[in-house]
Structure formats: C-alpha cells, structure tokens
Structure 1
C-alpha cells in the first residue's frame, strides 16, 4: 500500500504535461526500516508467487525476470543504485491515467539518503517523467521522503483512502463498487496530507 504515494506523486507531476512519454518510479526501503517481520514475510511471499515484474515498454505490457529485471535508480542524494523491477498496480494505473507507453517501477532495499546524511532511516520515492509541454520536451523529477517508516506510510495511506471513500475530504462519498484505491483521492489533497504528517516532497521540472 505504501506505493500509493508513488502513484499520487507521479499523477500530480504528470498534470503539467500535455502528453507523457515515460514514467520511471523508484523507491528505497531502508535496511533499518522498522517494517516488522509480518510485512517482510508478506513481501517475500508476493515475490515468490510472482517473480516476474510487470512494466510497459512501447505501449505493451511486458513481464521482466532475471537480468531483464535489473535496473538503476538514482536516489535523492544522487547515488546510482542497483535496483530490481517491482510489480505494483501503480504501473497499470499510471498507464491508464496518462497513456504513457513506457512505465517502470524499480525497488532498492538498502541505505536511504536520510541515513546517509546521518539521520534516521526513511522510505524514499523518486518519480521521473518525460513528456511534452508547451510544444517542447520536458523532464520532471519528484521526490518523497518519509522518516516514520514504511509501515507508518502504509497506515497513513490507508487512513487517507478510507477518508476519501467516506467523503471526509470534502468530496462525495464513493458509490458501492470495486475501485483501485489510489484512484479515489485528489492527488494534491493526498500529497498535502502526507506533508502534514511529516513527508518531505519536492517537485522539479526542466
């Protein structure tokens, strides 16, 4: 569920583009993150059940495994880290929402930028987008850092999504039905709530 933050961050950044060519998402789960044994066991179970990762390449859904799943990820502090493609509903949701033909999510389990700076472990998300804006090719890089742990970010995301379902964020309550949870909230409202809870979010375009 913590990856919902990456979807919302990407969706909010994509609003500044007329069309989106590619979306690269990356996340670091710090080795010292107080994630808890149940969450770690569940992550291992998911990876063993679905060892291939889903990405979009040239508008086609592709499953990656082995060497093809290996990638690179630039952390908030500029380190180039070895990463592995990670399957998440965010990939399909972003393709549906933006039409971007190339989308990939990479995951790193290692030292976060926060800990490299001598601070506590933090969950770290980076979103890089390339697309067209005002007739020119533009790039954006957005980052989210949350120092209260992956489990806390998961819990906060659940609370915000439930608030959206119930209409507690000044929106109409969701009608009965089946929804992807990350599609229920306004992206700006969601990010503002994350900031209020201690997340550091930056958005840069060039």
Structure 2
C-alpha cells in the first residue's frame, strides 16, 4: 500500500512551478500530506497555508542532511531546482524515498546516473528533464499508437520570453543553452551533435507565423530514440513571442509535433499535432511532476514503484497523461482540427 501519511517534500515548492505542483497534487489527492521546502521559511509557509494540509521546511542544499530533521519524516522528494551538490538525491537514496528531478540537461546526467548505480536498490528515481516534464514525449507516444513504425519526429516548442518563471527556471535556461554549445539530435539513425548554423532552424507557430529556432536537447530526444527507434529526431526551441501574445492576449506555451511514418492502415504520411496551454509552461511542468509522484507512490491505485531508474514514459501511461493534461487546461489540435477536450480545471494565478 502507498505511504500517504508521510508528506511529499517539494524542494522549490514556494517557486512558480513548484507551488503549482503542490496545488495540483492537492487537487488530485486531497488527503495527501505535503511539505513545502525552500530557503525562505515565510514563503514556504505562505504556500503551505494556501494549499492546506501542508507544512513548511527550510532546506539547505549545501548540507548532506539538507538541514532537515534526522528522522525519516517524508514519503517522497521532488526537486524543482538544479542541485549541483546531488545532496537531494543522496538524501533520498539514504532514506529510501521516491525521487523526481526536472532540471538536468542531456549532457549532464552522468553524476546522477552514477550515484544511482552505486545504490540501485534504495529507491525509485524518476529523471523527468524532458520538455516540461513529459509534455511532448508522452503525447507523442500516445499519437504514435496510430503508426506501425515512425521514421521521423520533429518537435518545435515556443517559450514566450515573458514565461520564464522564477529565478531557478531562468538559471536552468541560461545553463542549458550556454554550457553545452551543441544539441543532440538523431540523424539517419545515428546520434549527432549540432551547433552554430547546423543547429539553426525555423518552426511554424500555431498561428502560422514562421519563427527562428535553435536545436535543443532535453531528454525528449533520448527518450523517443529509445522508445520509438525513429531514424530522425530533432527538437527545436523558439524563444520569443508566443502566438497568443501576438494577438494581444497573455503569453501561452506551444508544442508543435510532426510524425512521419507508416500508419496502421498501410499508408505512409505525416501527422501534425499542436498542444497549447494558455497559462504558459508552469502548469505542464507541475502536472508532469505531480503525475510522476502519483505513480511512484502508488496513489493511482496500482502498487508503488519499486527501486529503479526511470523516465516519465516508463511509468506514466501516455493516454492517461493526455487525459489529465487536458483536464488541467491544455488544448490539443491535429492537422488543423480541434482535438478532444476534457473539462478544464481552474489554475491559480
């Protein structure tokens, strides 16, 4: 049975995305205990009071014990900041706590993987650094069920310059786009790294406007290469003005997907899909982490996840994710037609 008596510790839980993850967990599981972790106790207490049935914890990433009490008080740990010390992962493995992280680049996962390999039987570790914690990968795997085989996958995303989120998200973006000058793609069945002109591209926003983009490599590329074995996979990021802001509305976040391959009816062709959330990137990331925690802890009614190293698509059913993400406000379209839309839930400002 899942342990829902000990609180889920959300480190960075008073930030823009972490606080939404706490709110989503509360909506999904009203009785779940939650601990909001951060450097500022007052901010953590404010979020805890807002969501209810929650506590506040001061977290110090420089300390191996995170500055937390010695007794094993928590049921799981989710981290919304880049922890270069790896102390959050060490703490989780030491106390056998399910763990979720979202801030690592494809080029920097070695230390986390090595630490897990040395303690593989301690806890389930979910590495959810795909774009917005699975917001592209899981729908693609859902759409892929219409195909016998997929040859090419192109993902284009638009991140509005007003939708960066808090300081932690801004620091992640700066690090991930500057530390590694090259981006991982799959080309002609081979892993390749592109930079400069080779990494430059364009994508068509959901309003039909062509915008400049740059190849980018969150975990989506390696997830899809492993899961679908397509011969060509590329992820392009456009940072600037979203379609909604061009028409005078607040910013949104956009994911544009093209899948090419042989469909189950025997025909060969390309399908185009668009996913838009009118409140930007934070709700999608928050929900991805919330659903990951739900599966790790067995809150969905199945058994809790056993120790292991996981990606979101190895734990979360794509169809279930698509249903949930629509319930929380995402809009899906396919080849110009409106997708099935579930009733949306109000999202806090």
TM-score (norm 1): 0.93
Match 1:25 to one of 148, 155, 159? 155
The answer to whether 1:204 aligns with 2:204 is no
Aligned residue-pair number: 206
Q: How much does 1:198 deviate?
A: 0.8
Q: Distance in 1 between matches of 2:295 and 2:177?
A: 30
Partner of 1:107: 237
Partner of 1:87: 217
Q: Which runs of 5+ in 1 are unaligned?
A: none
Whether the aligned pair in 2 keeps the contact of 1:140 and 1:205 (CA below 8 Å) is no
Q: How much does 1:81 deviate?
A: 1.2
Match 1:47 to one of 141, 166, 177? 177
Partner of 1:127: 257
- Worse overlay, 25-34 or 99-108: 25-34
Partner of 1:60: 190
Partner of 2:293: 162
Q: How much does 1:88 deviate?
A: 1.2
Whether the aligned pair in 2 keeps the contact of 1:53 and 1:85 (CA below 8 Å) is yes
Q: Distance in 2 between matches of 1:97 and 1:171?
A: 23
1:18-50 superposed Cα distances (whole Å, 9 cap, x missing partner): 110100001011112151222112211122222
Q: Which runs of 5+ in 2 are unaligned?
A: 1-128, 338-349
CA spacing shift, 1:38–1:87, aligned 2, 3 Å: same
Partner of 2:268: 137
Whether the aligned pair in 2 keeps the contact of 1:23 and 1:102 (CA below 8 Å) is yes
Whether the aligned pair in 2 keeps the contact of 1:126 and 1:142 (CA below 8 Å) is yes
The answer to whether 1:150 aligns with 2:281 is yes
Q: Distance in 1 between matches of 2:302 and 2:334?
A: 25
CA spacing shift, 1:36–1:13, aligned 2, 3 Å: same
Give the number of the structure whose alpha-carbon radius of gyration is greater.
Answer: 2
Partner of 2:165: 35
1:42-83 superposed Cα distances (whole Å, 9 cap, x missing partner): 211122222210000010000001110001111111111110
Secondary structure class of the residue paired with 1:15: helix
Q: How much does 1:169 deviate?
A: 2.8
Secondary structure class of the residue paired with 1:18: strand
The structure whose RCO (Cα within 8 Å, separation 6+) is larger is 1
TM-score (norm 2): 0.56
Match 1:188 to one of 319, 331, 348? 319
- Worse overlay, 183-192 or 169-178: 169-178
Moved over 3 A (4+): none
Whether the aligned pair in 1 keeps the contact of 2:133 and 2:289 (CA below 8 Å) is no
Match 1:118 to one of 248, 253, 256? 248
Whether the aligned pair in 1 keeps the contact of 2:221 and 2:234 (CA below 8 Å) is yes
Q: How much does 1:186 deviate?
A: 0.6
Whether the aligned pair in 2 keeps the contact of 1:13 and 1:203 (CA below 8 Å) is no
